[in-house]
Structure 1
Amino acid sequence: MMGNGLTLRLETVTPLHIGNGDILSPYSDYIFDDETGMVYIIDPHKVEKALYEMENNEEVIDEFVQRISAKKYTSDVYTLKHFFKEYGLDYKQLARSVVQTNADVKNEEIQECIKSSARPFIPGSSIKGAVRTSLLFIHRQEDGFSLDDVPKNIKQSNGEDLFGEFEKDLLKHLHISDSTMLKPDEIMIVKTLRFDFKKKTGTIPVTKEAIPENTQLTFRLQCKAKRNYHSLDKRFSYLYSEEGENGERKILNMVNSFYKQLIEKEWNLLKELKIPELSLVTDLYEKLLKSAQQFEKEQNGAVMRLGSGKTFYDNTIAGLFSPQDLKKIRNKTNLGSYLPFPRTRSVIQNGQVYESVLGWVYIMI
């Protein structure tokens, strides 16, 4: 039967941030209402229209531009909220979206998430990157990848020798669409930091827009190689469209196997370290492991990690090696000798509590 691919459900287990490279500034882009915990992201077109409609518009516009560009006032005195109040403008009417947050974001820059026409989504390229790493890991595991096979820079081991280079890359036969889009206000704002296992403290916080947990989207996954036109090694037969849904299902099983191993490794490390501040994160990994085990049993989905907050293990095949072998690899590739490795983790902070991590999702048939 000719395969038409699968439409898959993606459900966020923890907040998910995939950045677009832009920053929201408290001096020009948003207002935080600390009474309601709402962030009003300002629409520049609405502001421009409101300022032009004022009698003394030239004076007000000059003042607005001067305050933003020249930082005429210090951050403690000047905010957008003060400016709008001074000139009798209702900032709530000038917002393009309103976002709830538990984080204190009064005067901090906020990293924006990727959007299309102000609507958040998950790019197919991000999903495909996670799938590629998963397939590479499983194939290397099956092939008995050893220390001698590790390149000079393990970070650059992206499987070109296995999948092929550039136009010959076998994964060009795997199509993964962008996800469906959310409404502009279907996001949250979280405060993240790098928690140091050794010092048992967090670094300087970074505030991000994120797709909230328990958000559901869909995307398409389709294997498109044709047996009549493409000759693939039998290891990659799952890429043939003639496999029906079997190819796509096998890919999900391989993805789940990869992340199940990583989750178990992380959970065991957290239990061993016994850091009280990370008890909720430890509980999260226990939940993720049980979900991965259930997907493995039912053969109907996968646990996956996307976007910001991933570790060295999420992006490489380092999880293939024992601690002893990984130590040798690190010496060989100048990655240091400190333990545990990696030494820090990106965690989500809510007040004084480290309640979660970024990027975990369920993929379901």
Structure 2
Amino acid sequence: MKRLIITFVILCAVVIAGVGAFVWSGVYDIGADAHHTKPVYALMQALRERSIDHHAKDVVVPNLGDPQLILKGAGQYAAMCTGCHLAPGMAENEMRPGLYPLPPELAKFRPDPREAFWVIKHGVKMSAMPAWGASHDDATIWSMVAFLQKLPDMTPAQYKDIVAKAPQDHDMDEAGGHSHSHGGAADEDAHGAAAMEGMAATGQAGHSHDAADGDAHEHSAAPAVEAPLSMEGMKPGAAPTAEAVARTFQTALQHGDREAVLALLAPDVGVSEGGHTQTRDEYVAGHLGEDIAFLKAAKLTPVSLGSMPMGDTAMVGSESEIGATMKGKPVTLRSREMLKLRKDGDSWKIVSVQWQTTPTTGE
């Protein structure tokens, strides 16, 4: 018996040493284009399926038939999921073929609600599936699950229609912090509440200066409780054509080229400033001219720019430093801009603009 135990210990030591030597040698090809052998893949597939089934078994499914819940989920899916999982009528993109294992096309089957919720919330190790629960609450995740139950029955036209009607991404709605005040009564009605909330939260008044058209242009500090616009997941050059459009948009604003700005804005664009979202017509009639006047009088220095492709849409985030004069004093502002762009034929159109500007010096 003693000899058997010794033999077993020696065998274990040899196996451990062999595995260690194999790992240390680096000969194993970890590249995503070097696929697993069929036995290894089958083992990992079984492990994943059994793990998800085990951990999701106690998930309590709410009512998924609420139209508003489904509508919200449509917007979330379009913003976060189509790059990997596609959508009705969406062609393969440049990213998907390089993913291993290949993400499933969610328009081709109806996932179990409990398992879908668990996977979306917790993600899957060693795959491209992130744990969205780290940045999204359960209600938002359930909205995506509700939408997934309807997705397989949608035509491309129906999918585009519901996404167009979906509310803007909650995270981006909450992030806006760029606000303007121009002294007029109508402008105060539209933006005064947001600006006053920002001042109350920070204990600071906004910064105003005389713009080129003579109006007082104000950038209120973002509320202290407000989360900054996040550029998580964005990388320089990830969506180069969309980034080029973003740069053109910024340059057009700086140079006062209204026609160039209008050419880049989609008819259904939403422009969010200080928590208030304007339509294209509202923005063009008011704040576009004021933004142009402000930027023409200021010095803008780009700090960073990154993007994230998502099928027929892309997110482009940028950060800049703005030097300006307000109330006769020089100030430095840190500005973040988040653009959502949609493929329109061979070009890109901006469908969402988010600004957040905070003072860094000169207060």
Higher Cα radius of gyration = 2
Q: Which has the higher contact order (CA 8 A, sep 6+)?
A: 1
TM range (shorter): under 0.3
Structure 2 length-normalised TM: 0.28
